[in-house]
């Protein structure tokens, strides 16, 4: 029995396969067929290389960021090819010390009011955010937006860090989203008014399309509202949308936060427009402020598109087109956009100090924590031990206690044991009154 079991070939070996073929045990005669590897060429499902899988791979934040960065690079390359590198060099050459100081001042005003708006929105969501940390975090986010691709990674970092510090990641992220939404709404409303009233290359087209677009938006809102009201039971998406609208109303439109959010948004938008006018003056554009404001609005609206490299790309393209359409020259518009980008980067440079200070503080905290974990615990005085009865009692120091004298007779050493102990080598007791020598053992 044992010999037969030892001689039986293991399944899966060539010998076993040959035996199976010899006995006729194949896939059609009771033997289990070998599992075939999955075919990666399948289409139509979400696991192969079908359209759904391709769309799922493309619809990821990393891919969208890379595509936006690629689009910004392409726009800049086209501008360099059509207008040359002299426009960029001319814009950089015109920037001087006083213009940088003015840009730092404008950046300080806009950053403080933006941080105040963020604190107001966070308070509406029942999150405590002091103004000083908000200003520091906002400076850091502005620098990261200007230094990293995409133009929004600083705001993402600010949202995640604020949510983690408050213990509620969802509310922290929503506070940043609502704050940025307030700024964009102010830009859209003020920009629409300026583009419709002030002379600009798009004023006539906007006046022709403003009324139909407004009616279409109102009709779509009415249809959505009617569908929501006719539903007998709100769905999960409806409840989530209702909760988001309630938070937006409390954070942006409430009686306590509404005036502050409005004032801060107006001041921030005025600062951005002032920065653009300063860039135009540095670039040598002699147009009036009323002529520059619509062009600045168009450039700021282009900056909100997620197709840039640290804010560069669509802003330069739209500025070149708008200045060319206004009769000021496409090259001059590109120079203004370049100067504006450099001044904005200079205005966000205090964010570098915030990054270095936070890094150094974290490094010191880590060293202090490591030293605290390796150091032995300090002894607690007797008075503190009496004041804290809930602590565990300290172990007594047996080395400092005096030796106890055994007075019970049964614990006293016997005479034979005492003599044997005194005759051991290296004993401290002399034997028979003579010094201890090897011969005395």
- For 100-131, write each residue's pLDDT tens digit: 999 999 999 999 999 999 999 999 998 889 99
Length reported for the chain: 441
Residue that the structure tokens 């940088």 belong to: 100
CB burial of residue 37 (10 Å; 0-12, 13-18, 19+):
exposed
Provide the 10 A C-beta neighbour count for residue 346: 18
pLDDT tens readout for residues 180-233:
999 999 999 999 999 988 888 888 777 777 778 878 888 887 887 777 666 666
* Residue 250 CA, distance from chain mean position: 25
Average pLDDT over residues 293-299: 92
Q: What does pLDDT average to over the chain?
A: 75
The predicted pLDDT at position 36 comes to 47
pLDDT tens readout for residues 52-80:
666 666 566 666 667 767 776 787 788 77
pLDDT tens readout for residues 346-383:
999 999 999 999 888 888 887 777 777 765 655 655 55
DSSP 375: S
The predicted pLDDT at position 376 comes to 60
d(Cα 290, Cα 438) in Å, to the nearest integer?
115
């Amino acid at each position: 029995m044992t010999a037969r079991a030892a001689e039986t070939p293991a399944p899966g070996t060539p010998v076993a396969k040959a035996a199976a073929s010899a006995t006729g045990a194949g896939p059609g005669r009771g033997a289990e067929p070998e599992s075939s590897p999955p075919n990666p060429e399948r289409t139509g499902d979400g696991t192969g290389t079908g359209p759904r899988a391709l769309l799922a791979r493309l619809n990821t934040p990393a891919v969208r960021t890379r595509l936006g960065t690629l689009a910004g690079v392409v726009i800049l390359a086209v501008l360099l090819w059509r207008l040359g590198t002299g426009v960029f060099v001319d814009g950089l050459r015109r920037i001087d010390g006083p213009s940088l100081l003015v840009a730092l001042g404008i950046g300080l005003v806009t950053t403080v009011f933006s941080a105040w708006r963020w604190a107001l929105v966070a308070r509406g969501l029942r999150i405590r955010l002091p103004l000083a940390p908000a200003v520091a975090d906002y400076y850091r986010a502005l620098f990261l937006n200007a230094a990293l691709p995409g133009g929004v990674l600083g705001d993402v970092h600010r949202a995640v860090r604020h949510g983690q510090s408050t213990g509620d990641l969802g509310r922290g992220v929503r506070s940043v989203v609502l704050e940025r939404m307030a700024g964009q709404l102010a830009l859209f409303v003020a920009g629409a008014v300026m583009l419709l009233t002030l002379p600009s290359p798009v004023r006539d087209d906007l006046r022709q399309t403003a009324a139909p677009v407004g009616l279409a938006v109102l009709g779509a809102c009415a249809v959505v509202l009617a569908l929501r009201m006719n539903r007998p039971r709100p769905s999960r998406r409806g409840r989530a949308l209702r909760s988001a609208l309630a938070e937006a109303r409390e954070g942006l439109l409430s009686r306590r936060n509404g005036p502050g959010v409005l004032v801060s948004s107006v001041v921030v938008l005025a600062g951005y427009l002032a920065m653009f006018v300063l860039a135009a003056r540095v670039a040598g554009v002699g147009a009036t402020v009323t002529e520059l404001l619509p062009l600045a609005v168009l450039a700021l609206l282009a900056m909100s598109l997620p197709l840039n490299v640290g804010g560069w790309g669509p802003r330069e393209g739209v500025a070149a087109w708008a200045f060319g359409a206004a009769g000021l020259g496409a090259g001059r518009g590109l120079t203004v956009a370049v100067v504006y980008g450099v001044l904005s980067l200079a205005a966000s440079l205090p964010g570098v100090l915030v990054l270095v200070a936070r890094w150094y503080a974290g490094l010191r905290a880590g060293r202090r924590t490591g030293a605290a974990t390796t150091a032995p615990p300090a002894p607690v005085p007797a008075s503190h031990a009496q004041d804290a009865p809930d602590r565990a009692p300290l172990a007594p120091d047996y080395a400092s206690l005096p030796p106890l004298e055994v007075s019970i007779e049964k614990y006293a050493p016997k005479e034979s044991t005492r003599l044997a102990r005194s005759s051991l080598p290296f004993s401290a007791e002399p034997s028979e009154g003579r010094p201890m020598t090897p011969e005395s053992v």
